[in-house]
Amino acid sequence: MTLTALGLVLTASLAHALWNAAAKTVSGHGYTFVFAYQLISALLLLPIGITILAQRPELLGWPLLGVAVVSGLLHIAYSVTLQTGYDRADLGIVYPVARGTGPVLTILIALAVLGERPGWAGVAGGLVIIAGIAVVTVPGPAAAGIPDRRERRRPLLTGLFWGGLTGAFIAGYTLWDHHVVTTTEYPPLVYFAVSTAFNAIVMAPRALRRPADLRAVAVGNKRAVAVVAVLSPLAYILVLIAMQQAQVSLIAPLRETSIIIGMLLAWWLFHERDLGRRLTGAAIVITGIGLIALA
C-alpha cells in the first residue's frame, strides 16, 4: 500500500469518528436526521459533480445513475440502521461492532470471491486490527456501572444486533463501491454526489410527512446535521480515492482505525468507561496498521 493511500484512509478515519460522535448526540428522529444530512451533503456535492460532468459529458448517462442507485440504497440502509443503533445502545458497543463486522465480511468476500491476494503482511495486519477491535468491544465486568449481569447483557445484545446489521451493510457498500471506482471511469466525487442526491430524493417523501420531526431536527440538531453533512462525504470520498490505489481487502480493515478515535470520544464526550482497555486495543490496532503499510 502506498503512503498516499495510507494517509487518505487515516484522514478519512478521523473524519469518520468525528461525524459518528456527532450523530450519537441525536436522540430520536433518526430517519429525519439522516434525511437532513443527506440533503445538505447533496447540495454541497452536486455543484462540484455537475462542474466535473460539464467537462466530461461522456460520463453522464443511465449507467452512472444505475451504479449510483445501488450504492445509494446500500448507504440508506447503513445510515438508518446505524442511527437506530445509536438511539438504542451505547456508542461504545454499536460503533466498534459495526466497524469490526464490516471489514471481516469484506476481507472474506474479497479473498473468496474477488480472488484478491494481499500477501501475508496485509492479511496479518487485517486480523490484528480486528483483534484490537475485539479488545475494545468486549465490556468489562461492570460495564456502564451496571452490577447485574442480566442487566448488562441486555444493552450489550442490543448493541451487538444493530452493530452487526450495520456492519453487514458496510461490507455491502464497500465491495460495491470498490467495484465501481476500480472498473469504471467515474470520478469518486461525481459517483458519490449522484448517489447522495438519490438518497435525499428517495428519503424525502417520508421525511416531509413528518414536519414536527423536521422542525425538531432543524432547531435542536442543526450542529450535528452540519458536522455529519460535511465530514461523512469527505471521509468516504477519501476512501473511494484510496480504493483506486490499493486492494479492498487492505482498505477495509485499515479504515476501521476510526474505532480508536471513536472509543476515546465515547470516553471523553459520553463518559463511557474502561479507558485502559480501549488504549490497549488502540496499541493492537496500530500494530495492524504497521503490517498493512508493509503490504
Q: Encode pLDDT of 35-61 as tens digits.
A: 999 999 999 999 999 999 999 999 999
Helices 62-88, 188-208: inter-axial angle, 10-degree rounding: 60
pLDDT for 262? 78
Widest Cα–Cα separation across the chain = 63
Q: Which pLDDT belongs to residue 122?
A: 72
Distances (CA, A) of 1 to 4, 103, 211, 292: 8, 17, 48, 7
For 57, left (φ over 0), alpha (ψ -120 to 50), or beta? alpha
- pLDDT for 144 equals 45
Backbone angles phi, psi at 171, to 5 degrees: -60, -40
pLDDT at 213 over 80: yes
Q: Which set of grid coordinates corresponds to residue 175?
A: 465491495
Q: For 108-161, how does the pLDDT look when each residue is reduced to its tens digit (9 = 90+)?
A: 777 777 676 667 777 787 788 778 777 766 665 554 454 455 555 666 788 889
pLDDT higher than 80, residue 188: yes
DSSP state for residue 257 in the 8-state scheme: G
